[in-house]
């Protein structure tokens, strides 16, 4: 059965480009972006892993660790990493899981038989420090992932975990947010949102980013 939002992310121990990797131990208290690839030495995925490496500082400041996965071997991964580093002018600084026995792929429902019976689809899972699945995305093989969007969602999750707000359409970090409809006490509203808010409708109240 497919993982749903809020589900416990399955733990696993599997070989990787940096040796044996246990997800929970490796993640520690960090957020995790786990993303799968159909195979090594594929063009779109090469650009994606290069982009992930270049975003290392962005992930770090959000307390996020990235980990890739494909069904190829760790030795294949190591050779592919050399290609990624050379062609994308970067240095891959995160592990790639070698899911040769499809164990992780099955746990995370990454093999979709109607697309391919053996190779993993291009999925993304955002997992929080409590090891809960907070976001899932699955892309077609021909479409490169948008890592700016993945970072945007992480920014939204981390903000809304700490404040009683939600983020509106096309929101980016620092933009105005909306106050959750369940918050109605005026004294609490003043305390939580000292910059005030605009009530466009009783259920639609806009306020500046309370983290800033």
Give me the active site residues, please: 45
- Other Cβ atoms closer than 10 A to 54: 15
Question: 3-state DSSP call for residue 190?
Answer: helix
What DSSP state is assigned to residue 11?
P
What DSSP state is assigned to residue 9?
P
Give the span between the Cα atoms of 37 and 190, in whole angstroms: 47
Give the span between the Cα atoms of 71 and 53, in whole angstroms: 20
Residue 14: which of 94, 76, 96, 84 has the closest Cα? Answer: 96
Give the list of residues 6+ apart from residue 13 with CB closer than 8 angstroms, or none. Answer: 20, 21, 22, 23
Element (H, E) at 70: strand 64-70
Give the span between the Cα atoms of 102 and 4, in whole angstroms: 20
């Amino acid at each position: 059965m497919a993982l749903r939002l809020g589900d416990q992310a399955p733990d696993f121990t599997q070989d990787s480009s940096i040796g044996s990797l246990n997800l929970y131990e490796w993640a520690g208290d960090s957020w995790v972006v786990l993303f799968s690839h159909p195979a090594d030495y594929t063009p779109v995925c090469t650009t994606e892993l290069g982009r992930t490496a270049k975003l290392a500082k962005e992930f770090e400041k959000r307390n996020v660790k990235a980990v890739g996965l494909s069904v190829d071997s760790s030795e294949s991964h190591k050779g592919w990493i050399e290609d990624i580093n050379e062609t994308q002018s970067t240095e891959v600084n995160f592990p790639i899981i070698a899911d040769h026995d499809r164990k992780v792929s099955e746990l995370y429902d990454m093999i979709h038989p109607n697309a391919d019976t053996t190779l993993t689809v291009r999925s993304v899972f955002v997992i929080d420090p409590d090891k809960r699945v907070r976001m899932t995305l699955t892309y077609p093989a021909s479409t490169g992932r948008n890592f700016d969007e993945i970072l945007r969602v992480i920014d939204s999750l981390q903000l809304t975990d700490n404040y009683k707000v939600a983020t509106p359409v096309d929101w980016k970090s620092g933009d105005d947010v909306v106050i959750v409809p369940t918050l109605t006490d005026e004294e609490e509203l003043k305390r939580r949102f000292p910059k005030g808010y605009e009530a466009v409708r009783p259920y639609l109240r806009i306020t500046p980013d309370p983290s800033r």
